[in-house]
Amino acid sequence: MNPAVAVIGFAQAPCRPSAGTTSGVETLVPLFHQALSAAHLDRREVDFWCSGSSDYLAGRAFSFVNAIDAIGAYPPICESHVEMDAAWAFYEAYVKILAGEAETALVYGFGKSSAGLLRRVLALQLDPYVTAPLWPDSVSVAALQARLAIDAGVVTEQAMAEVAARSRADATTNPYAQVSGQPTVDELVAAPYLADPLRAHDCAPVSDGAAALVLAAGERARRHRKQPAWISGVAHRVDPQGLGERDLTTVPSATAAAEAVALPADLDVAELHAPFTHQELLLRNALGLGERVRINPSGGALCGNPMFSAGLARIGAAAEQVMTGRARQAAGHATSGPALQQNLICVLEARS
Partner 1 sequence: MRRTAVLGTGQTQHQTRRTDVSMAGLCREAIDRALVDAGVDWPQIDAVVLGKAPDLFEGVMMPELFLADALGAAGRPLLRVHTAGSVGGATGVVATSLVRAGVHQRVLAVAFEKQSESNAMWALSIQPPFTAPIGAGAGGYFAPHVRAYIRRSNAPEHVGAMVAVKDRRNGALNPYAHLRQPEITLESVRASPMLWDPIRYDETCPSSDGACAIVIGDQAAAEASERPVAWIRATAMRTEPTYFAGKDHVNPRAGAEAAQALWQAAGITDPLAEVDVAEIYVPFSWFEPMWLENLGFTEAGHGWKLTESGETRIGGRLPVNPSGGVLCSNPIGASGMLRFAEAAKQVMGRAGEHQVAGAKTALGHAYGGGSQFFSMWVVGETPGR
**282 three-state secondary structure:** helix
The binding track of 210-239 with respect to partner 1, each residue x by CB under 8 A or -, is -------------------------xxxxx
Distance, in Å, from the CA atom of 274 to the CA atom of 300, rounded to the nearest integer, reads 7
Task: Report if residue 156 touches partner 1, rule: CB under 8 A.
Answer: no
Task: Report if residue 242 touches partner 1, rule: CB under 8 A.
Answer: yes
Return the sign of the alpha-carbon dihedral for residues 124, 125, 129, 130: negative
CB of 171 to partner 1, least distance (A): 28
Q: Which of 179, 203, 336 is nearest to 275 (CA)?
A: 203
Task: Report if residue 337 touches partner 1, rule: CB under 8 A.
Answer: yes
Indicate the residue among 189 and 256 with the shorter CB distance to partner 1: 256
Stretch that binds partner 1, among 104-112, 125-133, 170-178, 269-277 (CB under 8 A): 125-133
- Whether a cis peptide bond, with omega within 30° of 0, leads into 76 is no
Member of 81, 220, 278, 333 binding partner 1 (CB under 8 A)? 81
Q: Which of 272, 134, 106, 299 is nearest to 207 (CA)?
A: 299
CB of 326 to partner 1, least distance (A): 30
Q: Which of 125, 107, 4 is nearest to 54 (CA)?
A: 125
Task: Report if residue 59 touches partner 1, rule: CB under 8 A.
Answer: yes
Indicate the residue among 77 and 159 with the shorter CB distance to partner 1: 77
Member of 125, 277, 329, 335 binding partner 1 (CB under 8 A)? 125
Task: Report if residue 44 touches partner 1, rule: CB under 8 A.
Answer: no
Does an H or E element contain 170, and which? helix 157-171
Stretch that binds partner 1, among 77-85, 201-209, 219-227, 320-328 (CB under 8 A): 77-85
Task: Report if residue 349 touches partner 1, rule: CB under 8 A.
Answer: no
Task: Report if residue 205 touches partner 1, rule: CB under 8 A.
Answer: no
Member of 16, 96, 112, 119 binding partner 1 (CB under 8 A)? 96
Query: What are all long-range contacts of 178-184, with beta carbons under 8 Å and residues at least 24 apart?
Result: 178/14, 178/15, 178/16, 178/17, 178/205, 178/207, 178/303, 178/304, 179/205, 179/299, 179/302, 179/303, 179/304, 180/299, 180/303
Task: Report if residue 124 touches partner 1, rule: CB under 8 A.
Answer: yes
**Cβ atoms within 10 Å of 226's Cβ, excluding its own:** 9
Task: Report if residue 144 touches partner 1, rule: CB under 8 A.
Answer: no
Which DSSP symbol is given to 94?
H
Stretch that binds partner 1, among 121-129, 151-159, 165-173, 219-227 (CB under 8 A): 121-129
How far CA 275 is from CA of 20, 204, 279, in Å, comes to 23, 5, 7
Stretch that binds partner 1, among 80-88, 220-228, 279-287, 292-300 (CB under 8 A): 80-88
Member of 256, 259, 285, 294 binding partner 1 (CB under 8 A)? 256
197: left (phi over 0), alpha (psi -120 to 50) or beta: alpha
**CB under 8 Å to 78, separation ≥6 — which residues?**
47, 48, 49, 102
Q: How far is CA 337 from the centre of its chain?
A: 12
Task: Report if residue 20 touches partner 1, rule: CB under 8 A.
Answer: no
Member of 4, 14, 23, 34 binding partner 1 (CB under 8 A)? 23
**Total site size for partner 1, rule CB under 8 A:** 66
In this structure, are residues 63 and 119 in contact, taking their beta carbons and an 8 Å threshold?
A: no
Indicate the residue among 283 and 327 with the shorter CB distance to partner 1: 283
CB of 22 to partner 1, least distance (A): 5
Query: Which residues in this chain contact partner 1 in the complex, by CB under 8 A?
Result: 1-2, 22-23, 49, 54-56, 59-66, 68-69, 73-84, 88, 91-92, 95-96, 98-101, 121-122, 124-129, 131-132, 235-242, 245, 252-253, 256, 336-338, 341-342
